Structure formats: C-alpha cells, structure tokens
Chain A
Amino acid sequence: MSDMQPDEKITKQGSGEVSVQPLPRSMPVVPGTTDDGTLIEDPSVRAPLVLGKRTFREVTDIVCGYAEAPIPKIWLTAFTICSMIAALGTGMILYLIITGVGVWGLNNQVDWAWDITNFVFWIGIGHAGTLISAILCLLKQNWRTAVNRSAEAMTIFAVVCAGIFPGIHVGRVWFAWFLAPVPNSNAIWPNFRSPLLWDVFAVSTYATVSLLFWYMGMIPDLATLRDRAAARLHKGVSREFKMPMPIGDGLPLGFMPRPDSIRLFIYGVASLGWRFSSRHWHRYEKAYLMLAGISTPLVLSVHSIVSFDFATSVIPGWHTTIFPPYFVAGAVFGGFAMVLFLLIPLRVILPNFSDLLTLRHLENMAKILLLTGTMVGFAYSMEFFIAWYGANQYEFAVFANNRVNPAEAPYWWAYWTMITCNVIFPQLFWFRKMRQNPLVIWIVALAVTIGMWFERFVIIVTSIHRAFLPGEWHMFFPTWVDILTFVGSCGIFMTLFLLFLKFLPVFALAEVKVVMPQSHTDDHH
C-alpha cells in the first residue's frame, strides 16, 4: 500500500477497496511485557492518552473510518442475531399487552418481580455514561475522552430498555398516560406526593438530558463526517451503493444514491450546520460545562429517587435510609462494568481502537469498579448490621431467613451469587497484574453485570415474598414470558449499540484532539 500514489490510494479508499484506517502501530507493546506504554508508575511522567504518535488526520481517519467503511460481515451477523432477539422481546411485550400481566409469574404476594428488577438493572447501567461525561469532566479527568461517547450511547440505550418495563408492568398499558401530569376524566390529578410519580419525572428528565448531552457532544463530529462525505463526492471518489449480502460481495444497486450522498444529507441535517467557529466553540464549551455541572446532581438524584420507590414503603428489607447512596454506588458499579464488558472486545475486533482506548483507561475503570464494589459491599454489611442492631424482628427475619441462611431462605443462592459477583470478584483488582489484564477485567465485568441483576432481584423479591403474615407467603417463579422479555430487552440494547457502532462517531473526536499534544498553543511540544 505504501508504494501506491496518494491519488490512487484515495480513489481506492473512496471506492471501498482498501481500508480507510491508517496503518496499525509497528510497536504495539513495550518489548518483553504486555504494557502498551501507558502503564507508567512514575508520577513525573504523564501517560499518553493517544498512542502511536498519531496526527489529527490519522485520529480522524480512525474514528470516521468505522462509520464510513462498507458494512463488515461480522457486524451484519451480530446485527441479524441481536435484532431477531429484539423482535422476540417485542413479541413478548405484545403478547403481554394482548393477554394481561398474568402471563408473567407474578402473584398476590410478589407483585413486583422481574419487571421492576429489569427496570432498576437497566436504569442502573444507564448511570455510567453521564457519570463519565459529567463528573469526570468536572474533575478534569482527561482519560474520559476515550470512553465518554460510547458510554453515553450505552446510557441512552439502557434507559430505553429501562423505560419499557414500568410502562408495561401496569397491566392496562392504555392507561399509562395516568403517569403524565394531566387530570384524568374525573378531574383528579396524579399524586405528586408519591415516589412513583417522582420516579416518572426523574427518569424522563434523565433520559431527556442524557440524550441532549450525547447529541450535543456529537454535533461537531457529525459535521466532520458530513465534510468528509462532501469531500469524497466533490473529488468523485465516492463508492456505489452496494446492498450487503450474507455471502460474497455486496449487490450493486444502481438506482440507489451513493452512500456518501445519503451521509451528506443525514449527517448534514443532524450537524445543524456546525462550522467549527471559535465563537461557537466558546459558547459550546460553556454549555458543556454547565450541563456537566447540572448532570452531576441529576445522576445522583435519579437512582436516589428510584430507591425511594422502595425506601418510602413500610416493607421490611425496603424501608431503610441507606438506600439512596447504596443504589447510586451500585448504579455506577454496574454501569462501569457494562462499559468494560462492551468495549474490551472492541479493542480486539476493531483496528486501531486500542490506540485511543489504552490499557491505562481500562486500569482506571478497573479501579473505579474496585472502589464502587467495595462501597456496595459496605452497604450490604451495613444493611445487615442495622437490621440486627435496629432490633426489628421483621427486618432481621428478611435478612437472616429470606436471604442469607441456606437452611431457611429459598432464595439463598440468589443472595450468595450477588455477594460473590459484586463483593468478592472486584477485590482481584487490588493486584496490579489483574487490573492490567483485559481478559481478567472483562470476566470481572461480566460477573458484576450478573451480580447487579441479582442484587435487584434479591432486594425486590426476597423482601416481599415473605412479609408479615406466613399465610401470605408465596414463592416467585418466572414464566417463559418473563425470561424472554428480559432476553429481548438485552437484544434491543445490543441492536441499538451495534447501530451506534456502525453509523455514529464512536469516539468524541473533537475532545480526543484536545488531549493530544499537538493541540497545545505553545511550541514546546
């Protein structure tokens, strides 16, 4: 490729014959180690955030290359599978609406189970994106630029999945408008003193603000994609539209516009005519900083309010004041685990991805997992301690007889799965070798994701399946509809994430450029 003429290379790149990606680094690791050159322990040396001495142009090519390349077969395969699972989940939701909530395993005693577990699970995962973009922005943690875009995308998609469950669990879905602040036909307004209504406002505000934050961050990068498409059309190096096929080359469709024309239109409209003006950048940065400032209390408030759904009730096991901080720590924990779970495989699959997402980024996130995992572990033990110290026999019974003791509690396995995954696994990260090994981090992230689902299941189901009167005790068994609805929500999440990976800028391009040494205004770099 190196002896190709530049014009010839551009033509071939434009027609999709060669990759638009720059060449990979010649020296990916420090000889004799697995270190990619970022795991420096010397505090006087600042680890590079972008590897391979990349220029602005190469970084642009790396990030935009993913969105501009022809659809890869592996993406098509994954997308087909995930969208089929999403369709299955949608079918389950339709079946539920047509038939009624009886298709789930709910009963009179356990009237919240997998539905609300899934809701809290997804909304918790949705906390990492805003945490990374807001709190780490205020703390001037420059490493966040490698992960903030994809984490914010993940946040939006997780909130989409979360929003499904409260909507459909009400039974008569056509009355879901009762949640909105409008009077019903008897002129009665919703009850603003109920935490369930606070939750509606908190989650919808969170979804709106996260979406706007994500979109605002993408405006300049969408403008870059727009200009690149325009440049290719201008030079006449744009490739033809080819319908991707499962086997062999794509099928050329002459009547379709060129992909770059479609890009120019869609990215052009979405980028709102951004022209990279410094006067615009000034207001843009102010707006970004203020959004970070208000998103920080927002992200803390959302899961606090979700925890009020439980904490303001009088059910033993729910009625505790530790819930808000405990839920927020758990949300950050689960969210970071999901970020790592999704991004570590991409370092292997996508070329040059590891130049922008380095081992040090992973190590930093592993440290956050260790911190929040330990906070969650502290909350578990403090909850138990207060149940004993508070001398309320019902409260203590929920912990001892419904959760912990295998001889008494039918759900002991759920409790101990939670403890193993959430408290024990992250402790591996005390060892440097462990938190610098992507495979170990990925396995722990997977364990934490499973553990956090079980945490919500334990809180919800084990508290209510045996409350005050033994005559009312009931077990909860999920039906096939319960299980497939949850699997379907994972499919919806993955489908949306795959669409993001293929068609939008995966890294915050403008922000990555800011942390590169060439962005400094003095000549010393």
Chain B
Amino acid sequence: MKMINDFMTAAADYFPMLIGKGSPKFVTSSGKPVYGIVAEFDETPKVFKAAQHVRDAGYTKWDVHSPFPIHDMEEAMGMKSTKLPLMAGGAAIAGVATAAALQWGTSFVLYPTVVQGKPFEAWQPFVPIMFELGILFTAFMCIFGMLALNGLPRWHHPLFTHDRFMRVGNDKFFIVIEATDPDFDPSKVKKVLEDAGGTHISLIEDID
C-alpha cells in the first residue's frame, strides 16, 4: 500500500493533468500548499550532526542536500540501502541472454552458415559478444535505473524557488523536512531544525 501511495505521489508530480494530488495538510497565507521547511548549514560536521538529530527526532520524509556525497551520511540519515545492485544484476543476465539468443538464433537457426569450417556447436566464439552486451545492459541499468529511482530528470522542484538554495552546488548544506511527513508540524519542525543548529530556516511553498 505504501509503495502504491509513493508511486501515485511521484506520478502526480509528472502528470498533474491526469492524477490529482490529495488536499494539502498545510497551506500558507497565500493559499498555496506547503512543501516543507528548510534550514541551512555551513560546515560538513555540523550538517552531519544535524542529520543525526533529525533522524533521532523520528522524521521519515526529509533530506540532506550537500555539494558532494558526505561519507557515512546513509547511516546518519537512517537510509535503507538501494535496490540498484539487484537491478543491475538482472540487467547483466538480460544482456548475456540477449547476446546468446542473437548469436545462436542467427547463426544456428535462421541462417546456419559454415565459416572457415568452424563447427556450429562451438560456443567459444560467442563469448566476447555475450560479455560485451552483459556490460552494456548493466551500464544502462546503473545509470538509467539510478535516475529513475531518484525521480530524475525533473526540471521543476519547489526547492529551486528558494534563493539561498542556489549555493547548494557550491559550499552550503541544507536539511529539508517535507510537509508530507506524518509528524510534520511547522512549529515543531522549526524547533528541531533550530536545535540542530540550522540557520536561515524558512518555509517553502509547493509549486503548481
């Protein structure tokens, strides 16, 4: 059930004309739904400690934004490991199977051709292409699977409306707690982020 909900939320971001979003829990004074609350940090150790603090406060729909991948952040955020390696393994098998089918199918079934007296049964000459296609499919899965799991490409996002967020690729760190979190309560969230040492705490409106 949770998976279906997550999927529908993601789909609603992409196809707002087809799937309506549920009515928002919180709206701003201008009537727009709330996306979340963001806090800014200056240094890696500070944001790392703050992430542990937010994790211990029990939030689930939140994220840390940093200019580079921070070592051990998975643990500090209490993230589960990604399924990507499993998917890549599946792609590798699919690639090898495709190459096997392509080579046996064409040179054994569709149009058996004797070349330089080499026997039809020989599997050895088919190994290099099986290897290459296995690699190719795995690479596709690594990159496109990673993007798909991340919900990318997505060129519009509420965070891009926050001016200070333009520094995230440079030298600033941000923690965002989203309004879809079951424990989301603006005053409490602000308090948690303040206690964690965040500055420039501000509310982000959702985009249409």
Q: Which residues of A line the B interface, CB within 8 A? A: 55-57, 60, 181, 183, 187-189, 191-195, 197-198, 201-202, 205, 208-209, 212-213, 216, 220-221, 223-224, 226-228, 230-231, 234, 268-269, 272-287, 290-291, 294-295, 297-298, 301, 305, 308, 509-511, 513-514, 518-523
Q: Which of A193, A287, A308, A514 contacts B118 (CB 8 A)?
A: A193
Q: How far is the CA of A510 from the CA of B142 in the complex (A)?
A: 19
Most chain-B Cβ atoms within 10 A of its Cβ — which of A192, A234, A294, A519?
Answer: A192
Q: Are B82 and A193 in contact (CB under 8 A)?
A: no
B97 contacts partner chain A, Cβ-Cβ < 8 Å: no
Q: Decide: A227 and B129 in contact? CB cutoff 8 A.
A: no
Contacting residue for B77 out of A213, A278, A521, CB 8 A: A278
Residues of A within 8 A of B149 (CB): 283
Cα–Cα distance between A510 and B171 once the two chains are bound (Å): 10
Q: Are B107 and A273 in contact (CB under 8 A)?
A: no
Known A-B contacts A272-B153, A275-B159, A283-B149; A294 and B139 likewise in contact (beta carbons under 8 Å): yes
Least Cβ–Cβ distance between B177 and chain A, in angstroms: 13
Asked whether B133 is an interface residue with its Cβ less than 8 Å from the other chain, the reply is yes
> Would you give the 0/1 interface string for B87-131, flagging 1 where the beta carbon is closer than 8 Å to chain A?
010000000000000110011001101011010001001101101
Tell me if A189 and B66 are in contact (CB < 8 A). no
**B152 proximal to A (CB < 8 A):** yes
Number of interface residues of B (CB under 8 A): 71
- 10 closest A-B pairs by beta carbon, nearest first, are A224-B169, A56-B171, A272-B153, A287-B146, A281-B69, A189-B106, A521-B48, A193-B125, A513-B68, A278-B64
Chain A residue contacts of B143, Cβ below 8 A:
212, 216, 287, 291
Chain B nearest Cβ from A294, distance in angstroms? 5
Query: Are B111 and A187 in contact, CB atoms less than 8 angstroms apart?
Result: yes
Distance in angstroms from B70 CB to nearest chain A CB is 6
Q: List 14 A-B contacts (CB under 8 A).
A: A56-B67, A209-B139, A275-B160, A278-B63, A278-B66, A279-B77, A281-B68, A282-B74, A282-B82, A283-B146, A286-B146, A298-B132, A513-B67, A519-B68
* C-alpha spacing A201/B74, complex, angstroms: 38
- A sample of 16 more A-B contacts (CB under 8 A), given A192-B126, A205-B136, A290-B84, is A56-B171, A188-B113, A191-B113, A192-B107, A193-B107, A193-B118, A209-B139, A278-B73, A281-B73, A290-B138, A294-B135, A297-B135, A298-B135, A509-B67, A519-B68, A521-B76
Q: Are B111 and A188 in contact (CB under 8 A)?
A: yes
Contact string, B138-163, partner A, CB cutoff 8 A, digits 1/0? 11101101110110111111011001
Question: Known interface pairs A189-B106, A227-B170, A269-B155. Does A205 touch B84 (Cβ–Cβ under 8 Å)?
Answer: no
Q: Which residue of A lies closest to B128 (CB)?
A: A198
Collect the chain A residues with CB atoms within 8 Å of residue B128's CB: 195, 198, 201-202, 301, 305, 308
Task: Kindly report which residue of chain B lies nearest to residue A292, judged by CB atoms.
Answer: B142
Q: Cα distance A202–B130 when bound, in Å?
A: 10
Is residue B22 within 8 Å, beta carbon to beta carbon, of the partner chain?
A: no
A-B contact number at CB 8 A: 218
- Chain B neighbourhood of A518, CB < 8 A: 43-44
Bound complex: CA A192 to CA B65 (Å): 49
Contacts of A285 in B (CB 8 A): 69
Q: Nearest A residue to B142 by beta-carbon distance?
A: A287
CB distance from B178 to the nearest CB of A (A): 11
Whole-angstrom CA separation of A272 from B146 in the bound complex: 12
Bound CA span A57–B166, Å: 13
What is the distance, in angstroms, from B123's C-beta to the closest C-beta of chain A?
11
Q: How far does the Cβ of B134 sit from chain A's closest Cβ, in whole Å?
A: 8
Docked CA distance A275–B67 (Å): 9
Q: A194-B115, A520-B44 are in contact. Are A224 and B67 (CB under 8 A)?
A: yes
Q: Bound complex: CA of A194 vs CA of B115, how far in Å?
A: 9
Q: Does B85 lie at the interface of the complex (its beta carbon under 8 Å from any beta carbon of A)?
A: yes
**Chain B contacts of A274 at CB under 8 A?**
152
Chain B: minimal CB distance from A229 (Å):
10
Q: Cβ of B27 < 8 Å from any Cβ of A? A: no
CA distance A306 to B70 in the complex (A): 40
**What distance in Å separates the Cβ of B120 from its nearest Cβ neighbour in chain A?**
10
> Does B58 lie at the interface of the complex (its beta carbon under 8 Å from any beta carbon of A)?
no
B17 at the interface (CB under 8 A from A): no
- Other-chain residue from B126, B133, B136, B170 in contact with A228 (beta carbon distance below 8 A): B170
Q: Which residues of A contact B140 (CB under 8 A)?
A: 212
Across-interface contacts of A220 in B (CB, < 8 A): 67-68, 169
| A205 with B132: CB separation less than 8 A | yes
Q: Mask for B30-64, Cβ within 8 A of A = 1, else 0?
A: 00000000000001110010010000000000011
Q: A191-B115, A208-B136 are in contact. Are A282 and B154 (CB under 8 A)?
A: no
Q: How far is the CA of A275 from the CA of B152 in the complex (A)?
A: 10
Contact indicator B170/A224 (Cβ below 8 Å):
yes
Closest to B92 in A: A294
A192-B106, A282-B74 known; A201 vs B132 contact (CB < 8 Å)? yes
Considering residues A224, A280, A308, which has the most beta carbons from chain B within 10 angstroms of its beta carbon? A280
Q: Which chain B residues border A231 with CB–CB below 8 Å?
A: 166-167
Q: Is the CB of B152 within 8 A of A272?
A: yes
Contacts of A277 in B (CB 8 A): 63-65, 150
User: Do B66 and A276 touch (CB < 8 A)?
Assistant: yes
Closest Cβ–Cβ distance, residue A428 to chain B (whole Å): 37
Within 8 Å CB of B69, what residues of A?
Answer: 278, 281-282, 284-285, 510, 514
Tell me the complex Cα distance, A380–B63, Å. 56
Beta-carbon nearest neighbor of A516 in chain B: B68
Most buried by A among B122, B125, B128, B145: B128
Chain A residues near B147: list those with CB within 8 A. 272
- Return B149 CB to nearest CB of chain A, in Å: 5
**List of B residues within 8 angstroms of A275 by Cβ:** 65, 157, 159-160, 165, 168
A285 to B113, CA, bound (A): 46
Contact flag A286-B85 (CB < 8 Å), given A57-B170, A191-B115, A224-B170: yes
Tell yes or no: B6 within 8 A of A by CB.
no
Tell whether, in the assembled complex, residue A223 and residue B88 are in contact, meaning their CB atoms are under 8 Å apart. no
> In this complex, which of A209, A269, A279, A291 has the most chain B Cβ atoms within 10 angstroms of its Cβ?
A279
In the assembled complex, the Cα of A519 lies from the Cα of B68 at a distance in Å of 8
Contact B157 A273 (CB under 8 A): yes
Q: Decide: A234 and B163 in contact? CB cutoff 8 A.
A: yes
* Residue of B whose beta carbon sits closest to that of A58: B171
